[in-house]
Structure formats: C-alpha cells, structure tokens
C-alpha cells in the first residue's frame, strides 16, 4: 500500500490545504462526549445513550431554549455511534439499534431545525471506543460523511502512529475538500504528539485542533488547561486566527464539577482564548444560571470577535493572573483570574500596563453583568476584587473623537 505522503503527491486537485471557508470565528455547538461518554445501553437508558433520541433532544433544546439564537449551531456525535463492522461495501454504518433511521435521517432532522450536524471518527484502525477507524478508508469515509450531510468532522487519533500525522491529517483534509461539501475539520493531531507539533502546517489543514487530553468535569481540569494555555510552551497561540483555532476542549457548564464562579471562569477564559464553544452537558436539565452564562451575548461577542486573535497571559503574581485579547475595533478584552481558594484578591493595575495606550482613552465595561465602569486614560488605574477561583472580565472600547 502506498504511503500517505505518496498518495497525496498523486493528486494535483483539489488544493491540498483545507479550502472550506469555515471557522472564521470559533465554532459553537454541542457534543456528546464529556457528559454522555460511551453509553450504548439504549435498551435500559434510552434518554442518555448514544442514539438518535439524544441528538434529536439536544437539537430541540438548542432551538427552543435560545442557544441557537445565541450562536450555537453544531450538534455533534462523538464516539460509540458505530456498528462494530463496516457494511458489505466497506462503508461505515451506525449501530442499527441506536440509530434505527440511519445517520442521514438524523442529519436531515438537525438541518430542518436550522442547525448543522457533526460526527466523530478516528484516523487509526479503531476509534478510542474500539469501533472501525478510518485508516485505509479516508477517501471512502470522507465521501460517506458528505453523502450523509455532515457539516463537522472530529477526527481522533487512537490506535494509530502519531509519526504518520503530518501526512495523515493533510490527507483527510484533501479528501474532505474533494467531496465538495464544506465540513469543519477538527483534528487531534497535536494531542497525540504531546502538544509539540508544526502549528503553521496544522493551520493549513485543520479548522480547529485539540492540543492536549480530554477535559474532565472538575475545576482542577479546567484550571490546568488554562495554565497550559497561559504557559504557551509550544507557541501554539500564535497559530490561531480566522479559519484555524486551538481547541482546549468542551465547555462543561451545567454539569456537576464547577461552582458558579468556576463556570464564569471557563466561559470567560474560553472567550479570551478564542476557543471553540462546544458544550457537553444535558440541555434538558441545565441550571438557569449556567444557561445565562452560556448565552451571555457580551461574552460570546469577545469569543466571536472577527480579528480571531487568541488571548495571552501577560502577568502572573502569586495566585492572580492577567490575560489580554486584542479585538477588531482596536479595543481589548482583559481578564483578571484568582486561582486562590481562600478570600477575594484585590487587584490594582495601570491601564497602560494592559497595552491600552491610546491617549483618547477607553470606555470600560464589566462583561458578565454589563456594568459600565467609565472612561479611562492610559495613565488611569483600575482597582477591583476577584473571587477565589473567579474571574473579572472587562471589555475596553477606544473612544473615537471626531
């Protein structure tokens, strides 16, 4: 069998790079994995298993409860949807008991809601859950997904050789282009290389990519991801931009492991980090407070800012961190984080130390509660208190003088 590198060289069209025009801002949607894992017991647990009812329910709630209006649009199946064997023509097929009407019918249902449909596969011989993988079937699987009406493909990396990824993921990108159907391409390329990958190359072939391991439903998991992104060891932040973003994994608001302040931290920091806002929760039973955070349009507007810059950490002082994110209007979003676990921390900072140096000044607004803070010049100082495991999120808009 030809190597993936040679296979790519045989094709001059379409373009080798990902050419779908998608993901110009971070994708927003819902994915099953963190909340529902690999529950395939649809006989005894039909409401929570990986089956068509679950995804129809989530699509219904996405529309009825205002998530679609807030910008969430993808409903994505993760692992464990597959039959354990391919069909007689080597095509992937779903578990017939869990998806009795097939994947195309489910995609049609989701499209009829005005939403988009995503699915999971794996580059390796098997998915992480042990189902058929796409290795040796990249072209066939890409065309199958297109035929089903898939709008988003998450391609994992279990049961494979990470040394092949520099050829494997570009090959799948090529075959997705070849179908003619635009699909967001979510890669796990760097996650299986310890985060040390060629990010300039990644950005040519993937719309989003997972850098590290799966998020868990806990504050320790969320805070560790934030600190990994703050360290930015492999300079992956610089690779982010319209059409290609780093993915620190799913939004877990509304589950079990975070306090209200910690939920604010995840939502605010995923906005600052220009991260995909892909929820994994039960929209049928979500707390009102979590729903308000998830649909907060001021926070989402920072995440969806069309400049597409990933925010970076500029100050670490004890348990307190300061992050900034440039915005398209020449303004700035900035976040104060308190990783302490005892009492609120008082923070005073000079506005110019945040990179805000326009002598016309800035209008500052606290984002979560939409509180105007007033006009600030570069020489002004801002003083506030930040709760333990909490965030203070501010947007600075430049004052334009006529």
Residues taking part in catalysis: 156, 214
The number of angstroms, rounded, from the C-alpha of 177 to the middle of its chain's C-alpha atoms is: 21
Side-chain-side CA neighbours of residue 346 (13 Å): 2
3-class DSSP state of 13: coil
- DSSP structure string for 115-161: -EEEEEEESSSB-TTSSB--TT-HHHHHHHHHHHT--EEEEE-TTS-
Residue (of 192, 333, 322, 245) closest to 28 by Cα position: 245
- DSSP structure string for 27-83: -EEEESHHHHTT---TTT-TTTSSSHHHHHHHHHHHHHTTHHHHT--EEE--SS-B-
HEC sequence for 218-256: CHHHHHHHHHHHHHCCCCHHHHCECCEEEECCCECCCCC
C-alpha–C-alpha distance, residues 191 and 214, integer Å: 9
Which tokens sit at 251? 């939004």
SS3 content of the chain, % helix, strand, coil (to 5): 30, 25, 45
Q: Are 169 and 189 in contact (CB under 8 A)?
A: yes
Which tokens sit at 60? 């219904």
Helices and strands per DSSP (H, E), number in the chain: 12, 16
C-alpha–C-alpha distance, residues 1 and 190, integer Å: 25
C-alpha–C-alpha distance, residues 97 and 115, integer Å: 24
C-alpha–C-alpha distance, residues 234 and 190, integer Å: 11
The number of angstroms, rounded, from the C-alpha of 299 to the middle of its chain's C-alpha atoms is: 15
Please enumerate in sequence order all residues whose Cβ is within 8 A of that of 196, keeping only pairs 6 or more positions apart, or say none: 190, 234
């Amino acid at each position: 069998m030809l190597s993936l590198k040679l296979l790519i060289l045989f094709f001059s069209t379409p373009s080798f790079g990902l050419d779908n025009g998608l993901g110009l801002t971070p994708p927003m949607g819902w994915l099953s994995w963190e909340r529902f894992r690999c529950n395939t017991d649809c006989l005894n647990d039909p409401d929570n298993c990986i089956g068509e009812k679950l995804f129809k329910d989530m699509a219904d709630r996405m529309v009825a409860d205002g998530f679609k209006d807030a910008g969430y649009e993808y409903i994505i199946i993760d692992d464990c949807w597959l039959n354990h064997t391919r069909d007689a023509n080597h095509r992937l097929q779903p578990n017939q008991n869990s998806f009795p009407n097939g994947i195309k019918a489910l995609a049609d249902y989701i499209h009829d809601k005005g939403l988009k449909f995503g699915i999971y596969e794996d580059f390796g011989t098997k998915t992480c859950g042990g189902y058929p993988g796409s290795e040796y079937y990249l072209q066939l699987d890409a065309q199958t997904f297109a035929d089903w009406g898939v709008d988003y493909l998450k391609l994992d990396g279990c049961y494979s050789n990470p040394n092949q990824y520099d050829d494997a993921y570009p090959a799948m990108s090529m075959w997705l282009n070849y179908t003619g159907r635009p699909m967001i391409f979510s890669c796990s390329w760097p996650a299986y290389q310890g985060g040390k990958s060629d990010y300039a190359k990644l950005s040519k072939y993937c719309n989003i990519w997972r850098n590290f391991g799966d998020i868990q439903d806990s504050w320790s998991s969320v805070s560790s991801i934030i600190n990994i992104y703050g360290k930015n060891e492999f300079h992956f932040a610089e690779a982010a931009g319209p059409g290609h973003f780093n993915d620190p994994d799913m939004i877990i608001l509304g589950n079990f492991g975070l306090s209200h302040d910690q939920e604010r931290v995840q939502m605010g920091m995923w906005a600052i980090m220009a991260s995909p806002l892909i929820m994994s929760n039960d929209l049928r039973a979500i707390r009102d407070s979590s729903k308000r955070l998830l649909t907060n349009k001021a926070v989402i507007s920072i995440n969806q800012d069309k400049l597409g810059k990933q925010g970076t950490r500029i100050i670490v002082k004890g348990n307190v961190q300061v992050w900034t994110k440039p915005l398209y209007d020449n303004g700035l979003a900035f976040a104060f984080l308190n990783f302490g676990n005892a009492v609120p921390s008082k923070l005073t900072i000079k506005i110019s130390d945040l990179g805000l140096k326009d002598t016309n000044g800035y209008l500052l607004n606290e984002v979560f509660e939409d509180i105007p803070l007033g006009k600030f010049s570069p020489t002004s100082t801002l003083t506030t208190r930040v709760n333990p495991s909490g965030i203070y999120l501010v947007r600075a808009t430049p004052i334009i003088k006529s």
